[in-house]
Chain A
Amino acid sequence: MHRRNLIAAAVASFALPALPALAQTEISWWHAMTGANAEVVEKIASDFNASQSDYKVTPSFKGTYPETLNAGIAAFRAGQAPDIMQVFDVGTGVMMGAEGAMKPVAEVLSENGYEFDKSQYLPGIVAYYSKPDGTMLSFPYNSSSPITYINKDIFEAAGLDPNDPPETWNEVWEMAKTIKESGAAPCGYTSTWLTWIHLENFAAWNDVPYATFENGLAEGGVPELQLNAPIFVNHFQMLADLAKDGTFKYGGRTSEAKQIFLAGECGIFTESSGGLGDIVKSGMNYGIAQLPYDSDAGGPQNTIPGGASLWVFGDKSEETYKGVAAFFDYLSQTDVQTYLHQTSGYLPVTMEAYEATKSSTFYDENPGRETPITQMMGKEPTANSRGVRLPNLPQVRDIANEEFEKMLAGDQDAQTTMDAIVERGNAAIKEAYGNM
């Protein structure tokens, strides 16, 4: 008897809280956020759910960015697609190729009575996630920009000025050598995402082409990579040389190097501004500076948005789209955007949130936190700096990573590496265009 009561109580305790959900429309949100950023996702979803009673957004973690994209594609093919999916910047080309599978965000908003006013959003970001005709396809959730972090304690121990972080790559190399030679840390410099930071952003920031046809953004033909130009070769030869004695330490293909920096092994670190949350959490005495530029080029241009955006799948019910639109409207609210920006280091997507943060004392108290925004918005973008769009950018990155690893292991020099990336990459791009 007791036992039966217990079971009944247990069943009731599970069932009861679920009851109000019957009247709600569930909206699934697949994401790839970990650590401090996953907490932000959970908080935004639960705050939205608490703010109204018609819809319930359920975030689920689906692994890394590429894993989430694949989970979404597999789910779509099986007819089980989620409502909202977070897709990383380089997956944008893949998603744009899937017209019909997706519903443009601009449509979702306008069909459900929300005004979509482009001028309220940061222009560089919105342009990146829009069709050439200007229709916004996905909602920029977390936009980031690569910046430089320094460990101030290591700088001091090496006799460097912790308030004078490197501005050019040559300064990075010199300071890294000083750190290594002085014994202040076992390594001078490390970086996450070599492809994103040292290829895509390196090209935009130094205003040199990544590929023909405006890096694939312009119509007219199959883009060809331009990555074996001397400026790239010299840059990577330097990295390869510094890797020999460990002055530069390779961490891995994605964000693994963050652990190396957090462990205090390296003094200088380039990583997404979105990595800030974890660095703040670690309690490290850190400093931020803009991404270094190559002194052989004409000075810094602008960086291109990284991070990810939210895509809405097609063929969902009207109720679902209403909920999605309400959620995106909530996401655009100034206080939500300011929270996202200030906690995670991602950029605010609306001008209002940026202005609000500017007028508060936040940037005064946290010098350097405006850096990712100013370096992206500082100058009108050129044909080289609007972004990179290839239908198979993840694959091209893979090829580049493989060749980088061979180079850093000392098997080949930078010229061979960059030539191989161009040759293999171009073949893959051609094939991908054939598949479309």
Chain B
Amino acid sequence: MNRATFPHFWLPLLLIAPQLAISAIFFYWPAVQALYQSVLREDPFGLRSTFVGLANFRNVLADPAYLNAAQVTVVFSLLTAGFSMAIALLLAVQAEKVVRGRGFYRTLMIWPYAVAPAIAGMLWLFMFNPSFGTLAAIPRALGIRWDPLLNSSQAMGLVVAAASWKQISYNFLFFVAGLQAIPKSLIEASAIDGAGPVRRFWTIVFPLLAPTTFFLLVVNTVYALFDTFGIIHAVTSGGPGKSTETLVYKVYNDGFVNLLLGSSAAQSVMLMVLVICLTAFQFKYIERKVHYG
């Protein structure tokens, strides 16, 4: 450790001040606010409030709707992370094989990442609208009664598709980078030994991609858990019934539609704990435990 890089006390503090200010205003302040509200019972306008201790947490945990939201979240996250990573890996491997226009092809693949979640949701909603959606004609032609408004599996399918589609670009980028880091000599050697492309992929490429895959698994889980609100809001609003209501969506719905601020704050505190655990897990394992090089 070289402590002499910044000899002064104030200069480094000044340099990180903007970052500190942003963290304080956008992260710590709301977090403290949520903690405070989670122990209160309050009317929507904040005119009267009473301290209720941990009653909000007890009510949330005793609510069957909360358990339902937890289950929905697990299913949704697994499906979204699984599909977006599998498809991105397939595309990345195929992109490696493209000889001419590889850069152009890759650029195209990255575009969906720039689309805002709510817009992505609207796109999928329109494409699969049972009345006028262009792509809704496909399930109908297959004889499937396409009605994501009432059919919960179809609704889940639609939000998973929209959420995965948006994340594929990100995963694609990392897989491409991961693939380029694999020494060509290894692949060539196994080819000379007579291994076909499928065998080469599963015995050489896939294991060597493990650090990338593991990193993406954590990132995608966090994405599916927390960054998909816009998509769910635009596509299903948590319906039909409560079949696409994830934990994050429930925080919004209870707080801003049902105006139960205490309960909503208690739920966000619980999510905060979950994020802290996930982050700790990521720091502890990602960089150290997974490598084969």
Q: Give the contacts of B22-68 with A (CB-CB under 8 A).
A: 41-48
Known A260-B131, A392-B259, A395-B257: A98·B44 in contact at CB below 8 Å:
yes
**Size bracket, chain B contacts:** 20 to 34
**Residue B132 is within 8 A (CB to CB) of chain A in the complex:** yes
**Residue B103 is within 8 A (CB to CB) of chain A in the complex:** no
**Residue A70 is within 8 A (CB to CB) of chain B in the complex:** yes
Contact indicator per residue, chain A 98-122, by CB within 8 Å of chain B (1) or not (0):
1111000000000000000000000
Residue among A98, A101, A392 making CB contact with B258, cutoff 8 Å: A392
Residue among B240, B256, B260 making CB contact with A406, cutoff 8 Å: B240
Residues B149 and A66 in contact, CB atoms below 8 Å apart: no
**Residue A42 is within 8 A (CB to CB) of chain B in the complex:** no
Q: How many residues of A contact B (CB 8 A)?
A: 37
Residues B131 and A434 in contact, CB atoms below 8 Å apart: no
Q: Which residues of the other chain, A, contact B237 by a CB distance below 8 angstroms?
A: 253
Q: Which residues of the other chain, A, contact B259 by a CB distance below 8 angstroms?
A: 70, 73, 94, 392, 394-395
**Residue B150 is within 8 A (CB to CB) of chain A in the complex:** yes
**Residue A259 is within 8 A (CB to CB) of chain B in the complex:** yes
Contact indicator per residue, chain A 194-227, by CB within 8 Å of chain B (1) or not (0):
0000000000000000000000000000000000
**Residue B242 is within 8 A (CB to CB) of chain A in the complex:** yes
- Measured CB to CB, the nearest residue on chain B to A99 is B47
Q: How far is the CA of A114 from the CA of B152 in the complex (A)?
A: 54
Residues B149 and A252 in contact, CB atoms below 8 Å apart: yes
**Residue A124 is within 8 A (CB to CB) of chain B in the complex:** no
Tell me whether chain B's interface is mostly helix, strand or loop, or mixed. loop
Interface residue stretch chosen among A5-13, A171-179, A397-405: A397-405
CB distance from A387 to the nearest CB of B (A): 20
CB distance from B267 to the nearest CB of A (A): 15
Q: Which residues of the other chain, B, contact A253 by a CB distance below 8 angstroms?
A: 237, 239
Q: Which residues of the other chain, A, contact B12 by a CB distance below 8 angstroms?
A: none
**Residue A354 is within 8 A (CB to CB) of chain B in the complex:** no
Residues A73 and B240 in contact, CB atoms below 8 Å apart: no
**Residue B139 is within 8 A (CB to CB) of chain A in the complex:** no
Residues A250 and B150 in contact, CB atoms below 8 Å apart: yes
Residues B131 and A406 in contact, CB atoms below 8 Å apart: no
**Residue A265 is within 8 A (CB to CB) of chain B in the complex:** yes
Q: How far is the CA of A97 from the CA of B47 in the complex (A)?
A: 10
Residues A398 and B257 in contact, CB atoms below 8 Å apart: yes
Q: How far is the CA of A73 from the CA of B48 in the complex (A)?
A: 14
**Residue B71 is within 8 A (CB to CB) of chain A in the complex:** no
Residue among B48, B149, B256, B257 making CB contact with A250, cutoff 8 Å: B149
Residues B240 and A409 in contact, CB atoms below 8 Å apart: yes
Q: Give the contacts of B242-263 with A (CB-CB under 8 A).
A: 242, 253, 256-260
Residue among B47, B131, B253 making CB contact with A101, cutoff 8 Å: B47
Residues A409 and B151 in contact, CB atoms below 8 Å apart: yes
**Residue A368 is within 8 A (CB to CB) of chain B in the complex:** no
**Residue A4 is within 8 A (CB to CB) of chain B in the complex:** no
**Residue A251 is within 8 A (CB to CB) of chain B in the complex:** yes
**Residue A281 is within 8 A (CB to CB) of chain B in the complex:** no
Residue among A94, A98, A100, A402 making CB contact with B242, cutoff 8 Å: A402
Q: Give the contacts of A358-406 with B (CB-CB under 8 A).
A: 392, 394-395, 398, 401-403, 405-406
Q: How far is the CA of A24 from the CA of B47 in the complex (A)?
A: 32
Residues B41 and A98 in contact, CB atoms below 8 Å apart: no
Known A250-B150, A395-B257: A97·B43 in contact at CB below 8 Å:
yes
Q: Which residues of the other chain, B, contact A16 by a CB distance below 8 angstroms?
A: none
Q: How far is the CA of A428 from the CA of B240 in the complex (A)?
A: 20
Q: Which residues of the other chain, B, contact A434 by a CB distance below 8 angstroms?
A: 41
**Residue B207 is within 8 A (CB to CB) of chain A in the complex:** no
Q: Which residues of the other chain, A, contact B43 by a CB distance below 8 angstroms?
A: 97-98, 435-436
Residues A70 and B151 in contact, CB atoms below 8 Å apart: no
Q: Give the contacts of A328-364 with B (CB-CB under 8 A).
A: none
Residues A94 and B241 in contact, CB atoms below 8 Å apart: no
Q: How far is the CA of A327 from the CA of B47 in the complex (A)?
A: 28
Residue among B46, B48, B242, B258 making CB contact with A395, cutoff 8 Å: B258
Given A403-B241, A411-B241, 17 new contacts (CB under 8 A): A73-B44, A73-B259, A76-B46, A77-B45, A97-B44, A101-B47, A250-B150, A252-B149, A253-B239, A260-B131, A402-B240, A405-B150, A405-B239, A431-B260, A434-B41, A435-B43, A436-B43
Task: For the complex of A and B, list the 10 residue pairs with the smallest distance between their C-beta atoms, beginning with the closest.
Answer: A405-B240, A395-B258, A409-B150, A98-B45, A406-B241, A70-B256, A101-B45, A402-B241, A405-B241, A77-B46
B contact residues vs A (CB 8 Å cutoff): 41-48, 131-132, 149-152, 237, 239-242, 253, 256-260
A and B contact pairs by CB, cutoff 8 A, 14 listed: A97-B44, A97-B45, A98-B45, A101-B45, A263-B131, A392-B259, A394-B258, A398-B253, A402-B242, A403-B241, A406-B241, A411-B241, A431-B260, A436-B43
